[in-house]
Amino acid sequence: MSSKLEIGGLWPALLTPVDTQGAPAFAELEKIVQLCIDQQLDGIYLLGSTGQGVLFSEKDRIEITKQVMNIAGNSLPVIAQVGALNTHESVRLAKAAQEAGVYGISSVAPIYYQGGVQNSLAHYRAISSSIDIPFFPYHVGNQSVFGGDARYYIDQILTLPNIEGMKLTTQNLYEISLMHILAGDDLILFSGADELFCQATLCGTAGAIGSFFNLWGEECQFVRKEFIGGNFDLGSRFMLTFQEIINFVLPNIWTFLQKAMYLKHGIAIGIPNPPLGMGNTQWQDKDVQDILDRIAAVTGLVTK
């Protein structure tokens, strides 16, 4: 069976714990990777938006990748996001991640210096041609270059060396469906909007990558499998609760995750490097615990 048929499922967009100076906190990083393994999640998406990838130095990103691979080993596949301001840096990061043993490489489109579809494709091509492991472009909603012509966009994506799939962080479900229709089985599609991880399965996604899967990996894994298996009642009840909670915590998401990860899992992730987390207000333990209890109550109705 090809890897394209095997890869998928639920992947946390891994949080990168930091100390008070914003440096990687490797002891806490080990805990969060082990948590993913213990919860039998399907993979780890490393150093994306949630993982603060572009806010770390190149040296830090390489060391974080090595440390994650030391812990994950053969337990979970890892995709490393290597997008950077400078394409040369992305290429170096991709090569280093491959050397560290990751399953695949991902990258956002060019940051700041955006130049249209051809510029993005050239950026992707430089990265994907520097490796010989799977490549997954990271499509970020309206911030990505879709070009207006979906068929042309997908046809060009499919010409990239080592192309395996895409991470689609968009709330436009039709956009996901259209990419699946045009690519067929030639692309493995991951949804990247936590609030639509069940709905996106109806649009042809093979997996889901999300920030809140760090916190509720076991719960979301269970619900996704139940939903795919036909338990639409659970899927609907859970997703409506999940969406309400995401909408509520989003303005202060970093302080929420900091408090919630510690209360639920005993992991101190710290406050991320600025500008992430700037302006976030602190949460009271009781308010966070109430939210954790709400998720537990929904899944608890049908837990094994």
Q: Higher model confidence: residue 114 or residue 111?
A: 111
- Position 123 pLDDT exceeds 50: yes
Contact 23, 60 (CB under 8 A): yes
Q: Which amino acid is at 251?
A: P
pLDDT for residue 303: 38
pLDDT digits (tens, 9 = 90+) for 260-293: 999 999 999 999 999 999 999 999 999 999 999 9
pLDDT for residue 300: 84
Of 49, 36, 4, 47, the C-alpha closest to 192 is 49
pLDDT digits (tens, 9 = 90+) for 52-70: 999 999 999 999 999 999 9
**CB atoms closer than 10 angstroms to residue 21:** 8
pLDDT for residue 148: 64
pLDDT for residue 3: 46
Task: Give the Cα separation of 214 and 257 in Å (integer).
Answer: 9
Contact 217, 39 (CB under 8 A): yes
pLDDT for residue 6: 81
* Beta bridge mates, 45: 13, 79
pLDDT for residue 143: 46
pLDDT digits (tens, 9 = 90+) for 168-186: 999 999 999 999 999 999 9
pLDDT for residue 117: 84
- Position 304 pLDDT exceeds 80: no
pLDDT for residue 67: 98
Q: Is 188 left (phi over 0), alpha (psi -120 to 50) or beta?
A: beta
pLDDT for residue 5: 42
- Position 197 pLDDT exceeds 70: yes
pLDDT for residue 127: 98
* Beta bridge mates, 208: 10, 191
Q: Higher model confidence: residue 103 or residue 303?
A: 103
Please state, rounded to an integer, the average pLDDT across all residues of the chain.
Answer: 93
pLDDT digits (tens, 9 = 90+) for 8-36: 999 999 999 999 999 999 999 999 999 99
Buried-exposed string 97-124: b where 16+ CB fall within 10 A, e elsewhere: bbebbbbbbbbbbbbeeeeebeebbebb
- Position 302 pLDDT exceeds 50: no
pLDDT for residue 146: 54
> For residue 238, what are the CA distances in angstroms to 43, 83, 194, 233, 243?
22, 33, 12, 8, 8
pLDDT for residue 100: 98
> What mean pLDDT is predicted for residues 116-141?
93
pLDDT for residue 255: 98
**Share above pLDDT 70 across residues of the chain, in percent, rounded to a whole number:** 94
